Amino acid sequence: MKKKCQNSFQKAEQTYPTSVTTRFQKELGNTLKECKMLVGMDNKGKFINLNPEPPSVRGLIKVHKTNMPIRPIVNIKNAPSYKLAKMLTGILKSYIPLPNVYNVQNSVQLMRDLSDIPSVPGLKLVSLDVSDMYTYIPTEDVINIISNLCKLHNLNKPMTKDILTITG
């Protein structure tokens, strides 16, 4: 049995050809050239990963759940778009603030929020577990939402164009 498991893991660790990663890296560089307002030509190299690798996936077994499902964990730190995605996230957060009404950042914030709720006899709290949360996110809808938020927050047209170019 142990031998069979080891063979399965060895098969899963095969390396992928870097041609896809290299091609994506080139497309990313071309996209950055178009975004003169958002990414200055002097800073372009700052957002390109010099030694890109395809994202790696590992599984975390949820031993506390029935049938022990596996939670996939994707490491994108060495992916070509990691630095650019991090920068774009910061820009979107600063220019287009979204309220954190329905989510919490960590357990400390959750405890703080729960302690503000007055204790009432018969009060029940419900915790929901979302499954398959990001199986499909329609890109066109995301671009329309970002475009509308840029207009709502009066971002100038060149900045909006750059954000949409990188996003799309």
Residue 28 in contact with residue 48, Cβ under 8 Å? yes
The domains of the chain are located at: 2-51+77-97+137-167
* pLDDT digits 0-9 by tens, 78-89: 888 898 888 888
Interval 2-35: pLDDT, tens:
444 444 444 444 555 568 888 888 888 888 888 8
pTM over 0.85, yes/no? no
Q: Which 3 state secondary structure label does DSSP give 28?
A: helix
Determine which of 36-45, 60-69, 112-121 has the lowest per-residue pLDDT on average: 36-45
Q: For the segment 129-147, what is each residue's pLDDT rounded down to a tens digit?
A: 676 667 778 888 989 988 9
pLDDT of residue 17: 55
Q: 85: which 2 tokens?
A: 């995605």
Average pLDDT over residues 115-126: 85
The pLDDT tens digits for 50-66 are 888 888 889 989 888 88
Task: Give the SS3 label for residue 59.
Answer: strand
Per-residue HEC secondary structure of 62-119 comes to CCCCCCCCEEEEEECCCCCCHHHHHHHHHHHHHHCCCCCCCCCCCHHHHHHHHHCCCC
pLDDT at 7: 44
